[in-house]
């Protein structure tokens, strides 16, 4: 288990700007970040497919891909619990902020 997970409660953050550095520390493992990136990419592909096909089942597939890959990264590689269990909105926002930061080269892939 990550030491930050036992020291800091994600619910203690009042703003996303304060939460995001914590979020990044909880994603310090490169494989975990890569799994998040793949899950987000597959989720976007499912969202596009849902819009194109007008089939809402793709939304469920997108959620399964996104959370499935992310949680595999946390439990299998990062060895911590996802912050989404305690701070779901900020964690969701963090996923997409990190996704953008990986695309723009701010965070190593």
Residue scoring higher pLDDT (5 or 92): 92
Mean pLDDT, to the nearest integer, of 50-60?
Answer: 98
pTM of this structure = 0.88
pLDDT of residue 61: 98
Taking all residues of the chain, what is their mean pLDDT, rounded to a whole number? 93
The domain segmentation of the chain, as residue ranges, is 36-109
Cα distances from 98 to residues 6, 49, 52, 95, 107, in angstroms, run 22, 23, 27, 5, 8
pLDDT of residue 1: 43
Band of residue 6 on the pLDDT scale cut at 50, 70, 90: low
Mean pLDDT, to the nearest integer, of 61-69?
Answer: 96
Helix (H, G, I), strand (E, B) or coil at 79: coil
């Amino acid at each position: 288990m990550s030491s930050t997970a036992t020291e800091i409660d994600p619910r203690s953050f009042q703003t996303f700007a304060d939460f995001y550095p914590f979020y990044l520390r909880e994603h310090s493992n490169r494989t975990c970040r890569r799994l998040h990136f793949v899950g987000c990419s597959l989720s976007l592909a499912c969202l596009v497919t849902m819009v194109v096909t007008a089939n809402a089942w793709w939304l469920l597939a997108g959620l399964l891909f996104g959370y499935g890959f992310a949680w595999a990264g946390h439990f299998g590689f990062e060895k911590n619990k996802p912050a989404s269990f305690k701070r779901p909105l900020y964690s969701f926002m963090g996923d997409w902020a990190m996704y953008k930061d990986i695309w723009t080269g701010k965070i190593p892939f």
